[in-house]
Amino acid sequence: MDDEFKRRMGLRIRQMQRARRRKNFGRSSLESTTKWVMRDRYIAKFDIPFDTMTEMVASCALDLGCELDIDTDRRYTRDIDSRPMVTWVVFPDEDLNLDRV
């Protein structure tokens, strides 16, 4: 993809990081991060399959200094044994550098 595509993807991930920092323990599921990125009009016009876009978002998030973590999803049930495992994008504590994309 071109530089504009990567720049806009990084911008959307940083926007989500700012929105999610105070709640959700500074993390967001990889699935919801991908959906957030796919809302961008410029990115949506490429009509990339969700699985491929998920891989691209994970790669971009790692480039921005985020970490990927696999943990249970506490949102749906209180029963520990039946909680699904989810890949989380964990945002760093400090602000992401806006010049890195």
Could you tell me the mean pLDDT of each successive run of 10 residues in the chain, 101 residues long?
Answer: 88 82 73 92 93 94 90 70 81 58 44
Our count of domains for the chain comes to 1
Residue 101 falls within a domain, yes or no?
no
Domain that holds residue 51: 3-90
The predicted pLDDT at position 25 comes to 64
The answer for residues whose C-beta is within 8 angstroms of residue 35's C-beta and 6 or more apart is: none
Residue 95 falls within a domain, yes or no?
no
Which CATH number does the domain housing residue 40 bear? Answer: 1.10.10
